[in-house]
Structures are given as C-alpha cells and as structure tokens.
Amino acid sequence: MTARLSQINKRRAVTDRAYSVWCTNCKTIAEHDAMAAVLIRGGGIAASCCAHLLSEAGLKPATEKLDRSKLPAVMLSAGTQQLLRDVFGREDLLVDLPQIRKRIVAWGPDAKPLILPHSAVVLSEEQLLDRIQEGLEQNEHGSQQDPEWTIVASTNLCRKSIEHAFGRRIAAASPVTLKTTCDQEACWIESLERGWLFLLPKSEDNGWLLSVGDSVQALLGTSRLIGDQIQGMGASRGAFPSHPRIAMPLSETGWLACGTAALGFDPLCGDGTGNAIREAILASAVVRAAVNGFDVESLVMHYQTRLLAGFRRHLASCFDFYKTGHGGSWWGEQLTELQHGLQWCMQQLSGCAAYRYRLNGFTLEAANDEFHRA
C-alpha cells in the first residue's frame, strides 16, 4: 500500500508540474499578446472588424484612420448581416433598416424580367460604421512607431504591392428620384448592349443608380426596365473602377493587406462587404497566431493563398454572369479580361502547398492537429 501511494504521489507531482508549465506558457503568450505592437491603417469595414477582433483578443491595436469618400449605399445580404452580428456580438446592429425582399432582373438580350426572392438591408457605409462604433470602446491607442505587425486596409497605402487589374469597367453612382409605382422592396438589375444598370431604393421616394460601362445617360436611353422606375436623376458622385483587382504580394512578414487594399470586387456579385469582413477575420487570426508563436512564413503564405483562391472564385462567378449578359464588343472585352485573370490566378496558385491552417471561429489553428510553431 505504501509503495502504491508513493507512485500516486509521484504521478500527481508530474501532473502538477505539467499544469504549472502550461499555465506559465499561457501567461507568457497573454503578456506577449498585450504587448504586441499592431497598427491598422484604414477606417473602413475591414479595418473596423480587425480592430475589434484584435482588441477582444487583448492586443490593443493602434489605428490610423484616413479620410476617404464613403459609399453612398451598401446592400447587405442575410449572410453578411450574420457575419457582422457574429464579429461584433450585436443582435441589434442592423435593426430598423430598409428591407430588400426581391430582385427584379432582366439579364441577357431581350430577356424578360424575372422576380427572385431576396433578403437584404440597405444603408450608407457611413451609417454602417457609425452603428458599429456605438457601444464599443474606441480602439485608437496612439501611433505605433515600430509595429510588430501592420494591417493595411485602405487602397493605395500598400506600397510594397503591385495591383493587377482584370478589365476596364468604369462605374458611376447617381442619386435618383423614384416613381411612385417603383417597388420599394426590390432592387433592379438590367444588362444592356454596352454595360449594365443596378437600381437600389434607399427610402420612400429616392435611391441610387449604379451604371457600369457606358455613360449613365446612354445606358438609360436603351433601358427597357430600370428607366421606367426613375422620375429624375442628380449628378453622379464621380467615376470609379468596378473591375476585379488584386494587390500582390498580399502579405509578408510583419504586414498584411486587407479589404480594399487587398482585393477589389465587381459590384455585380453584390458581396464586397461580406468579403471584406471575411478577409478581416482571417487577417486578425493570422496576426494573433503569429504573435502566439506559429511559423510566420507559413502563416503569410496561408493568408495569401486563401485570398488568391477567393479571388479566383470571384472571377469565375463574374465570368458566368458576363457571358450571359449580352453580345457585342463590350461584353467580349470583359470576358477576355476575366479569362486572363483566371489564367493568372492559376499560375499564382500552381505549386502552392495544401492549407496548413483552418479557422475555428475567429481563431486560426493548425490543420490535421499539427503544430507549426517557430
């Protein structure tokens, strides 16, 4: 009996020492997390998501917000709404907003309008950012002179990258007054010979018209669907590129590109905000994993490969839409550029290793229960 008690006590001592080492390691990681210098450059949706997720993890990032024009109208799908609620832990984040319950689509030469069910809400980007900040601690902790990690989340700030663009599609957003007969719970999409139109009601009698390709006046002049919904139109907010774009490299040791600094999406697919949120979730998880000792080289490669694969899926989705939009030279040019983009993505992804990490909630963990620590 005495010998058996001695063995039990020895096992308990070993277990206690292991538990003590584990606690010490956890404390060291937590202290490192708290001290890690992280800078976020940008003030849009991706930057806000990164700042909140890293603050929740204890890293207290510094934010460098830059003035830029905000999108006048954003349509958030049901999936994107849920992503935002999950990230910020706010079920009330998007209450009392105008609802879009259907899409009315005329896509293709002489296509008859189709009415499809939809579930989305509409607000401006500025309104969305204001709602996000309500009830949150301000995450601006002063400038980091020499940050350990920088998340670049605003266009034209990532000087280490080169933008690759696939297409030459120019878009314009114009405020419009709607006819009383226009369905306020529908968004409208129409393809035309030299571009396409997207009409998004914003309130009872006004909305926003996005025109891609030819001038808005020229496109409305040949419209068979959307033109009949508009009573009057104001001056556009200026022209901007709407073709898919990607910055390369997307990540290196010490920095990541995220949001508009990383990828630019064609608004036709309607999930730019959702993609920005997903990029922010992954970017924040990569930074946390790097701070916690995972191999940095494999982390930045995982981040770049994931975003490249997502961009390739976006190009493929665009190709499917554009090949059925209309015939003619304008649509043919867009398809050619999208094909170039798909080939370019395949070249970039060739030889890439299998994903070594996976997301578990908002945390990155090694795949196949392997540990890749430096």
Name the β-bridge partners of 212: 171, 196
- Residue 128 near residue 74, CB atoms below 8 Å: yes
Question: DSSP string of 5-37?
Answer: HHHHHHHHHHHHHHHHHHHHHHHHHHHHHHH--
Amino acid (one-letter) located at 374: A
- Strand-pairing partners, residue 240, are 171
Residue 363 belongs to what H/E stretch?
A: strand 363-366
Residues of the chain with pLDDT under 50: 1-34, 139, 370-374
Is the backbone of residue 259 left (phi > 0), alpha (psi -120 to 50) or beta? left
Place of tokens 């961009």: 311
- Residue in the structure block whose two tokens are 């490969």: 305
Determine the pLDDT at residue 351: 81
pLDDT at 138 (0 to 100): 56
For residues 264 and 247, is the Cβ–Cβ distance under 8 A?
A: no
> Could you tell me the sign of the dihedral formed by the alpha carbons of 306, 298, 52, 254, in that order?
negative
Query: Rg for the chain (alpha carbons), in Å?
Result: 24
Strand intervals (E) in 292-339:
none
Full-model pTM: 0.86
Cβ-defined contacts of 24-30 (< 8 Å, 24+): 29/291, 29/292, 29/293, 30/58
pLDDT in tens, 77-117: 999 999 999 999 999 999 999 999 999 999 999 899 999 99
The pLDDT of residue 352: 84
From the number of C-beta atoms within 10 Å of its C-beta (0-12, 13-18, 19+), residue 13 rates as exposed
Tokens of 43: 């003030």
Reported as a single tens digit per residue, the pLDDT across 190-238 is: 999 999 999 999 877 899 999 999 999 999 999 999 999 999 999 988 8
CA 38-286-22 angle, 5° bins:
90
Contacts of 131 (CB under 8 A, 6+ apart): 93, 94, 123
